[in-house]
Structure 1
């Protein structure tokens, strides 16, 4: 069943239809939130709130948009709100073995053999908007047009965020390589 069909069924009050959408997108949403926030509990809270907001707003969903993009727009805003509400707390490193196993693929051109834990620590040091752009581009495989529609940020700005985030990530990883040598 397509996302559009499930949305129609959800609007018609079919109880399992939205559950199917949740099942379809939960893992990707959780992975994105976890990489953005660095904490399991924060990610879980944000994802639950995202799906609740999506369910409550399903009547305002425009069928011309892809459901995935619409959902990730809500998710991205919830992640941003969570980051803002935390203030400027010390950034946390991701050290959970399960998270390491499901880490996002690094951008093309990164040195081979970079350990996932090192990559996640480096990602945690990026500016949140750069981290968000890198995750949408490389972990979620979104095109710039989809990212732009989802975030409300122009494609050129997103390309710059990805470029600068990639450069910063490479520099951080190079620094780790220099320390190990």
Structure 2
């Protein structure tokens, strides 16, 4: 059954249909949120909140959009809101490498190509907008047009974020390799 068919069934009151959508998209949402936020518990909270918001707003979903893109727009906004809120709560950065590494270590059940410890630490050091663009482009394999629809940023701005984020990521990884981390 396609996502569009499951949305129609959800709107008709079939609770199992939305459960299928959650099961289908949960891992990708969790990976994205985890890499954006760096904490398992925070990622879980944001993903659950995003699915709840999607369920409550399913009546406003436009069938011309892909469900995954619509869901990721919600998720991206929730991650941004969380990061803004976290920034207000704590105006400091963790400098302790051990603390960063333990916070960034992903659970085995949520493995993806981005789980190398050095990559996770380097991603955590990127500007959030660059990290978001890199994750959408490479981890989620989205086209710039899809990314633009999700984030509200122009395609050229997203290309620049990916370019600068990639350059910064390479530099951070080279530095980590030089330090033997």
Number of aligned residue pairs: give it. Answer: 172
Secondary structure in 1 aligned to 2:107? helix
Q: Is the 8 A contact 2:32 2:135 kept in 1?
A: yes
Cα distance, 1:137–1:156 mapped onto 2, change above 3 Å: same
Q: Is the 8 A contact 2:105 2:120 kept in 1?
A: no
Gaps of 5+ in 1: 106-114
Residue 34 of structure 1 is matched in structure 2 by 34
Q: CA deviation at 1:97?
A: 5.3
Residue 96 (1) aligns with residue 105 (2) = yes
The structure with the greater share of residues assigned to helix is 2
Q: Is the 8 A contact 1:9 1:17 kept in 2?
A: yes
Aligned partners of 1:152 and 1:97: how far apart in 2? 29
Q: CA deviation at 1:100?
A: 9.8
Aligned partners of 2:109 and 2:160: how far apart in 1? 27
Q: Is the 8 A contact 2:39 2:104 kept in 1?
A: no
Residue 128 of structure 2 is matched in structure 1 by 128
Map residues 13-32 of structure 1 onto 2, 5 A cutoff: 13-32=13-32
Secondary structure in 2 aligned to 1:64? coil
Answer with 23-32 or 81-90: which moved more.
Answer: 81-90
Aligned partners of 2:113 and 2:84: how far apart in 1? 23
User: TM (normalized to structure 1)?
Assistant: 0.89
Cα distance, 1:171–1:147 mapped onto 2, change above 3 Å: same
Q: CA deviation at 1:103?
A: 4.2
Q: CA deviation at 1:15?
A: 1.4
User: TM (normalized to structure 2)?
Assistant: 0.89
Q: Is the 8 A contact 1:103 1:120 kept in 2?
A: no
Q: Is the 8 A contact 1:73 1:150 kept in 2?
A: yes
Q: CA deviation at 1:177?
A: 2.1
Aligned partners of 2:65 and 2:117: how far apart in 1? 35
- Stretches of 4+ moved more than 3 A in 1? 91-95
Gaps of 5+ in 2: 95-99
